[in-house]
Structure 1
Amino acid sequence: MRAARLIRMALLLQSSPGLTAAGLARELDVSERTVIRDVQALQEAGVPVRSARGRAGGYRLAPGHRTRLTTLRPTEAETLYLSGLPTALRDLGLSDAADTARLKLAATLLPSLRAAAESSAHRFHLDAPAWFREPSAPELLPELARAVWSDRIVELSYARPGRDGRPPRTVTRPLEPYGLVLKAGVWYVVGRLPGDGPGGGGWRTYRVDRVTALSPAPGADEPFVRDPSFDLAAHWRAHCAAFARTLLRITVTLRLTEHGLRRLPAVLDPAGADSVPQAAPAPDAAGWVTLDVPVESEDVAFGQLTALGADVEVLAPAGLRARFRAYARSLAELYGAEPGGGQR
């Protein structure tokens, strides 16, 4: 732990000469007293750290001295691809490796290029978690990430939520973990069930926060052979599209004004909006258009379509139409009275 901190301190002094004890303490997340002790340790190890008092003071390396610690280790190089995702790095347990990698990179850059790199970090930041959700890293995420890096088959226990009145249950199966995805603050693992043939036993996606147990798969002493054609980003896009389509379980028949037809894609879920025809069907004599739209449920459709007001009429299913009829009556009663509940 201390050795890694000393390396980071030497790199900080090389890339940002003149840092004070307070500045180093902030960068290294230690006390100023610890900084002073670490400076002494570097000096005793032969690193020529100089200190100066006054306005232009601080710690710096002797003129002409450069550390030879800038060769990136594999883990540090890999974290550079995640350097714009501080939450992801923290969840994966890679924050320290990323900090060291960035310092090593900064130490190798010319001053002009170093300034450009720092400028971009000051101008762009990616905050992955959704609003109004306190991000929390699943307990088993770092261990699962190590299995992904090393291509090790794991035995995974997963709490499957109950559906359609069925109780929740836990399933356990071996998995070849191909990748991890952070979506709106939630981590998912994408993997393949071990099996014969190029497709293995099929692809699976699990929420990591529902993984209850994780261990090396029995008898799986060697890394699994990854499918070289697998593209995590493409696989995830296809998975999301297929998942969105499975949510569209019923079809409603609508009659819309021209204005309602234009607004319809804005009130539907994206998967449902994609089903709205680009070319409008022929309107009837009154100028209304009739079409079928897939939706998740009658409850969801009611919440979405009320935004269209009198520009939409639900023709089917009958239950949803009856719900809109009752809603219209309640509005008429409410707005037929004086404000505050008085009678006209």
Structure 2
Amino acid sequence: MRAARLIRMALLVQSSPGLTAEALARELEVSRRTVIRDAQALQEAGVPVRAERGRAGGYHLAPGHRTRLTTLHPTEAETLYLSGLPSALRDLGLSDAADTARLKLSATLLPSLRAAAESSVRRFHLDAPAWFREPSAPELLPELARAVWSDRTVRLSYARPGRGDAVTRLLEPYGLVLKAGVWYVVGRVPAERDGAWRTYRVDRVTALSPTDEDEPFVRDPSFDLTGYWRANAAEFARTLLRSTATLRLTTRGLGRLPAVADPAGVAEALESASAPDAAGRVTLDLPVESEEVAFAQLSELGADVEVLAPEGLRARFREQARALASLYGVADQR
């Protein structure tokens, strides 16, 4: 474990001279004191890592020195070929570039490593979208990806679910995230106080255009896309649930609810569920994205769920019940 960390630290110092102890600690996920101890260990092993003070300080290798740690191990070559999602690269318009990069990489590998790398592709395939969902790349995704790459501010129009209007924002797009087959863009809205960070579903972006500014925006070097997503994913999922449906569920329906509804909403609903009534049914308030989405999700529970509110959603199920009764020759029981 420590040996791998020391190798990584030496490569970081070589590729990014001037990294501070704090920056290295963040990259290596260790304490500042551990970084100092590891630097001493590298020096004792003959790697001339040195710390310099001042504005141009940080950790450096001695002038002219380069480590010999860049040769790939067979396992590293295997995993390198698994580092990208083919479907994601295709959605972003980068599949051709990725294929070319892999060919160039293969040409530089020793024959034994080339075989190891190529064998991984025959053994593993990464399929990001969920089952029973036809993956489709949002039309504006490639254009938005180009804005992310070039740090260009864009004017973005966004359709809000359950509402007829769309909002328009000036957005500094910092990154794109693929989650369960759905693309999201994370960026900063400079017009809002403190330049608030926002997350938008790309398939709900209805229009995208560049701004009149020629210069790219200045990217905040402290922003960590992975860290942001991990910290805010659950909260973002909760913000999508803008409506509430009051339900009465059988024991079986309650057990199946997590399989059909949004996990964030189900967790909240279960905390406030009533005690079972005489028939064993439980009443709860389920946060949902919209009546349309709730109807599609709850329809899978059949007679194990009764919608009590809102009236519009209950009316949808009443109409569905009448249509099914008519279809199957059952008298209308009003």
Q: TM-score range by the shorter chain?
A: 0.5 to 0.7
Residue 201 of structure 1: aligned partner = 195
Q: Does 1:255 align with 2:248?
A: yes
Task: Give distance in 1, aligned partners of 2:146 and 2:257.
Answer: 45
Task: Give distance in 2, aligned partners of 1:111 and 1:290.
Answer: 65
Which one of 209, 217, 221 corresponds to residue 213 of structure 1?
209
Distance 1:92 1:82, change over 3 A: farther
Equivalent residues of 2:140, 2:208 under 8 A apart: no
Residue 264 of structure 2: aligned partner = 271
Task: Give distance in 2, aligned partners of 1:327 and 1:294.
Answer: 22
- TM-score, with normalisation over the residues of structure 1? 0.55
Distance 1:113 1:205, change over 3 A: same
Task: Give distance in 2, aligned partners of 1:201 and 1:282.
Answer: 45
Q: Secondary structure at the match of 1:248?
A: coil
Residue 220 of structure 2: aligned partner = 226
Q: Secondary structure at the match of 1:293?
A: strand
Residue 50 of structure 1: aligned partner = none
Residue 84 of structure 2: aligned partner = 84
Task: Give distance in 1, aligned partners of 2:245 and 2:180.
Answer: 30
Residue 244 of structure 1: aligned partner = 237
Equivalent residues of 1:158, 1:170 under 8 A apart: yes
Distance 1:271 1:131, change over 3 A: same
Letter in 2 for 1:105: L
Task: Give distance in 2, aligned partners of 1:96 and 1:266.
Answer: 38
Residue 114 of structure 1: aligned partner = 114
Letter in 1 for 2:195: G
Q: Which runs of 5+ in 1 are unaligned?
A: 1-69, 72-79, 339-344
Distance 1:81 1:145, change over 3 A: farther
Equivalent residues of 2:85, 2:127 under 8 A apart: yes
Equivalent residues of 1:159, 1:212 under 8 A apart: yes
Displacement of 1:143 in angstroms is 3.6
Percent identity among equivalent residues?
A: 60
Task: Give distance in 1, aligned partners of 2:142 and 2:312.
Answer: 45
Letter in 1 for 2:220: R
Letter in 2 for 1:226: D
Q: Secondary structure at the match of 1:304?
A: helix
Displacement of 1:119 in angstroms is 0.4
Who wins on radius of gyration, i.e. which is larger?
1
Equivalent pairs, count: 249
1:1-344 aligned within 5 A:
84-89=84-89, 94-95=94-95, 98-127=98-127, 131=134, 133=136, 138=141, 140-141=143-144, 143-147=146-150, 152=151, 154-161=152-159, 164-166=163-165, 168=166, 171=169, 173=170, 175=172, 177-183=173-179, 188-194=184-190, 200-205=194-199, 207=202, 210=206, 212-214=208-210, 217-218=213-214, 220=215, 224=218, 226-228=220-222, 230-277=223-270, 281-321=274-314, 323-325=316-318, 327-336=320-329
Q: Deviations over 1:219-265 (max 9, x none)?
A: x57x725242x321232355543343233233333222222211222
Equivalent residues of 2:242, 2:288 under 8 A apart: yes
Residue 56 of structure 2: aligned partner = none
Equivalent residues of 1:256, 1:311 under 8 A apart: yes
Equivalent residues of 2:273, 2:283 under 8 A apart: no
Residue 17 of structure 1: aligned partner = none
Distance 1:217 1:238, change over 3 A: farther
Q: Secondary structure at the match of 2:270?
A: coil
Displacement of 1:276 in angstroms is 4.0
Distance 1:240 1:332, change over 3 A: same
Displacement of 1:117 in angstroms is 1.0
Equivalent residues of 2:92, 2:142 under 8 A apart: no
Task: Give distance in 2, aligned partners of 1:156 and 1:314.
Answer: 42
Task: Give distance in 1, aligned partners of 2:279 and 2:168.
Answer: 56
Distance 1:135 1:82, change over 3 A: farther
Task: Give distance in 2, aligned partners of 1:135 and 1:128.
Answer: 15
Displacement of 1:122 in angstroms is 1.6
Task: Give distance in 2, aligned partners of 1:280 and 1:170.
Answer: 38
Task: Give distance in 2, aligned partners of 1:169 and 1:193.
Answer: 13
Letter in 1 for 2:304: D
- TM-score, with normalisation over the residues of structure 2? 0.56
Equivalent residues of 1:265, 1:273 under 8 A apart: yes
Distance 1:213 1:285, change over 3 A: closer
Task: Give distance in 2, aligned partners of 1:211 and 1:165.
Answer: 15
Q: Secondary structure at the match of 1:309?
A: helix
Q: Deviations over 1:305-334 (max 9, x none)?
A: 333333233333445445545544554455
What's the RMSD between the two structures over aligned residues?
A: 4.3
